[in-house]
Amino acid sequence: MQAITAHVIPPREEALRAEIRAFLQAQLQGMPAERRARSWMGFDAGFSRALAERGWVGLTLPTEYGGAGLGHFARFVLVEELLCAGAPVSAHWIADRQSAPLLLNYGTEAQRRFYIPRICRAEAFFCIGMSEPGSGSDLASVRTRAVPSEGGWRLNGSKIWTTNAHRSHYMIALVRTSGNPDDRHQGLSQFVIDLKTPGVSVRPITDLAGDAHFSEVFFSDVFLPDDALIGSEGDGWKQVNAELAFERSGPERLYSSMVLIEGWLALLRTRAAAGAGLRGQDTELLGRMLGQLAVLRSLSVGVTARLAEGESPLLEAALVKELGTTFEQWVPRAVADALAAQPELPVPAELARTVAYLMQVAPTFSLRGGTREILRGMIARGLGLR
């Protein structure tokens, strides 16, 4: 694993920030903090279409497929601003970040021409069919199977913890096309599935916060035409690892708790202005948060620089994702403890709701994009420790 050196976002890409902030200020005006705290789990198709009209969905995709043709640093700036503001980006997020690049790299020209322009217009939303019941984090043990049928394939099985399946138009699924689960990485393939196809059923899963981001998806003798196969039969494991690299390489793993930090900082300022003073513990905690965030952001910019140079920093992305989700999970607990240490002081209701929401959902931060155990195994192998 190469060292991630310090990098600076180029001035041209940095200049995008002012336009994005002005757009977000208009779009998010009046949205309460507890809603903004959902950010990339917040589903708003209208907001995604408004982004697409500005050319900000498919930012790095080629112009011939409807993208903006910009580079990785431009996407970093856009993502950072969206997530720090708490914009509801979930509708287009997976399609933009993972599905379109996967199709661009492995899909047929017909698949690229059909799907990618629709993604760039925020007209086609995608979900990912990876996890399965009983498999845990063992992605290679998938049992959902597609068998050859006249003119295509017949698919049977199920997926679970599929984000936004009940709101998506398509799924890109990893399924077994030969052998059995004991064959591990062999015999796996990826298909793009129209979720309106007969035999597909979706059941949302309600979480502790009362949201239904996740779903179970069932396939009962679903017919998939030959052109639903992405890439070559049996190459699914290689392709899905490339897809996961797209998921882990951005700044998404740092900012899930930023709206809460913003709200808590505003409360500290209000208390200080009212003459209540600040506890030394609070200023120390704020310093720790900002220090960790600065380091993590620098690491994430370094990963982006490697991508801009045409490299594939899989291990570096795994490291930033693991450290970033640890930070994201720590912040709600730390803020909740700081507020509880002064029970005599009032807490704004909006801030209290934001803390409560993030305390409920923070355990999921280390699951999405690969569990902590999987990532630590990857990092250990990269360091030659296993």
Give the model's pLDDT for residue 246: 65
**Residue environment code for 167-182, b if the CB has 16+ CB neighbours within 10 A, otherwise e:** bbbbbbbbbbbeeeee
Give the model's pLDDT for residue 336: 97
Residue 277 buriedness (CB in 10 A; 0-12 / 13-18 / 19+): exposed
The DSSP H or E segment spanning 290 is helix 280-308
Both tokens of 308, joined, read: 């801009």
200/267 same-domain check = no
- 3-state SS assignment for residue 223: strand
Q: What share of the chain is helix, strand, coil (3-state, %, to 5)?
A: 55, 15, 35
Give the model's pLDDT for residue 354: 95
What CATH number has the domain bearing residue 142?
2.40.110.10
Give the model's pLDDT for residue 4: 46
Residues with Cβ within 8 Å of residue 134, at least 6 apart in sequence: none
Has residue 374 been placed in a domain? Answer: yes
330/226 same-domain check = no
Contact of 132 with 143, CB cutoff 8 Å: yes
140/116 same-domain check = no
Has residue 2 been placed in a domain? Answer: no
Give the model's pLDDT for residue 137: 66
Domain of residue 310, residue span: 249-382
Ramachandran class of 52: left when φ > 0, alpha when ψ lies in -120 to 50, beta otherwise = alpha
Last residue of a domain, one of 204, 235, 266: 235
DSSP string, 303-348: HHHHHHTT---HHHHHHHHHHHHHHHHHHHHHHHHHHHT-TTS---
- DSSP one-letter code for 39: G
Last residue of a domain, one of 103, 124, 145: 124
Has residue 243 been placed in a domain? Answer: no
Return the number of other C-beta atoms located less than 10 Å from residue 339's C-beta: 17
Give the model's pLDDT for residue 251: 76
pLDDT beneath 70: ranges in the chain: 1-6, 136-137, 183, 209, 245-250, 369-370
Residues with Cβ within 8 Å of residue 334, at least 6 apart in sequence: 285, 289
Question: pTM of this prediction?
Answer: 0.89
269/360 same-domain check = yes
Has residue 78 been placed in a domain? Answer: yes
Contact of 199 with 147, CB cutoff 8 Å: no
What CATH number has the domain bearing residue 39?
1.10.540.10
Give the model's pLDDT for residue 206: 83
Give the model's pLDDT for residue 367: 72
Ramachandran class of 10: left when φ > 0, alpha when ψ lies in -120 to 50, beta otherwise = beta
119/17 same-domain check = yes
User: What is the rounded distance in angstroms from the CA atom of residue 255 to the CA atom of residue 245?
Assistant: 18
Has residue 241 been placed in a domain? Answer: no
Q: How many domains does the chain have?
A: 3
Per residue in 73-100, pLDDT (tens digit) is 999 999 999 999 999 999 999 999 999 9
357/375 same-domain check = yes
Has residue 144 been placed in a domain? Answer: yes
Strands 188-194 and 170-176: antiparallel
263/216 same-domain check = no
First to last CA, the chain: 14
89/182 same-domain check = no
Per residue in 274-328, pLDDT (tens digit) is 887 778 899 999 999 999 999 999 988 988 888 888 887 778 888 888 888 899 9
277/358 same-domain check = yes
Torsion sign over Cα 294, 298, 301, 303: negative
272/375 same-domain check = yes
User: What is the rounded distance in angstroms from the CA atom of residue 316 to the CA atom of residue 213?
Assistant: 28
Select from 369, 262, 261 the least CA-distant residue to 323. Answer: 369
Has residue 1 been placed in a domain? Answer: no
Residue 80 buriedness (CB in 10 A; 0-12 / 13-18 / 19+): buried
Has residue 38 been placed in a domain? Answer: yes
Last residue of a domain, one of 124, 155, 188: 124
DSSP string, 122-175: T---EEEE---TTTTT-GGG---EEEEETTEEEEEEEE-S-TTGGG-SEEEEEE
213/281 same-domain check = no
For 160-285, strand residue ranges (E) read 170-176, 188-194, 200-205, 214-225, 229-230
Q: What's the one-letter identity of residue 44?
A: D
170/223 same-domain check = yes
